[in-house]
Amino acid sequence: MAKNSTPSAGKKCAGAVHPRHGISDREIDDVEEMSMPRTPVIYEVVRRMGEEEMQRPATSLWWSGLAAGLSISFSLLAQAVLLTHLPDTEWRPLIVALGYSVGFLMVVLGNQQLFTESTITAVLPFLKDTTGRNFARLVRVWGIVLAANLIGVLFAALFITFTPVVSPELYQGMLKVSRHLIEMDLARMFLAGVSSGFLIAAMVWMIPTAESAKFAVIALMTTLIAAGGFTHIVTGSLEATMLVLAGEWQWWQMLGQFMAPVLIGNMIGGTALFAVISYAQVMEEI
């Protein structure tokens, strides 16, 4: 008796056409691979990043935050390099803004701790489980990372100001880039800080799906911060500190006119706006 040549019911032909979709099983697999992850998946990736941050030892958070403060100083340096070597044209500010992304690329791709990133990553675990313990863990991460970032920035500003590490031309270029802070009032500082915090949180949210485009995502979002004249508590602290050390600003002005409104603005933009909205859109699905 001849054997039945029909494939068994439990097996699929690689090129078989699916009766509902009109495409083969192999093509269905390709569709699944090419599809964007659902929003709850992105949320869970970012939330787990926050859980990992909360579980890190204080010394690890400190040294990672300190490294981020030092790395972020290269944003201002890169802007000064471009400023001093480009002709004074209408399009020069846009090219100079590209240099702002250098420090952020070093921080994010180097997996260093930056305060404004934690305004979304460390907040999502707390929003999912709003306990006193999680709130204390959130404050711990924020406090350590922010302090370490600012100490790193202070060291960078002192090093640049009091050693011949950069040429006088570059030093003046860094001061010129920084002077935009002096022209901003409290309301502008605050609102620009809200925008910057929102953009950084959006960048963190986009990275899990960016894959090989992470470089472009980081560069695009941070360049927009510089081009838009928005304020960031860590990079701006380097600018403000250098202005103070150069005698162009006072410490009390730096603390009251810059740090307070920008810190609050960054936290509102990254936490109260982006993180809360991101959680709200998935809270019924998780």
Burial of residue 48, with CB atoms counted within 10 A of its CB: 0-12 exposed, 13-18 middle, 19 or more buried:
middle
> Is the Cβ–Cβ distance between 96 and 177 less than 8 Å?
yes
Nearest to 273 by CA among 177, 185, 201: 201
Report CA 191 to chain centroid distance, whole Å.
Answer: 18
Q: Which helix (H) or strand (E) holds 208?
A: helix 186-210
Across-strand partners of 17? 24
| Nearest-angstrom CA–CA distance, 119 and 138 | 9
Going along the chain from its start, the domains and CATH numbers come out as: 36-280 (1.20.1080.10)
CA distance 194 to 181: 15
* Number of other CB atoms surrounding residue 195 within 10 Å: 19
Q: Contact, 64 vs 149, CB < 8 A?
A: no
Query: Distance (Å, rounded) from C-alpha 259 to C-alpha 149?
Result: 13
Centroid of chain to Cα 38: 22
Give the pLDDT of the chain (286 residues) as one tens digit per residue: 444 444 444 444 445 555 555 666 665 555 555 556 778 888 888 889 889 999 999 999 999 999 999 999 999 999 999 999 999 999 999 999 999 999 999 999 999 999 999 888 989 998 888 899 999 999 999 999 999 999 999 999 999 999 999 999 999 999 999 999 999 999 999 999 999 999 999 999 999 888 789 999 999 999 999 999 999 999 999 999 999 999 999 999 999 999 999 999 999 999 888 888 888 888 777 6
Task: Provide the residue type at 92 as one letter.
Answer: R
Instruction: Quote the CA–CA distance of 183 and 64 in Å, as a whole number.
Output: 33
- From residue 57, alpha-carbon distances to 53, 71, 112, 158 in Å are 9, 21, 14, 28
Q: Give the DSSP H/E element, type plus range, for residue 281.
A: none
The residues that bridge with 24 in the sheet, in sequence order, are: 17
Measured distance CA(199)–CA(229) in Å, rounded: 13
pTM for the whole structure? 0.85
Instruction: Using alpha carbons, list the distances in angstroms from residue 216 to 35, 69, 231.
Output: 20, 22, 21
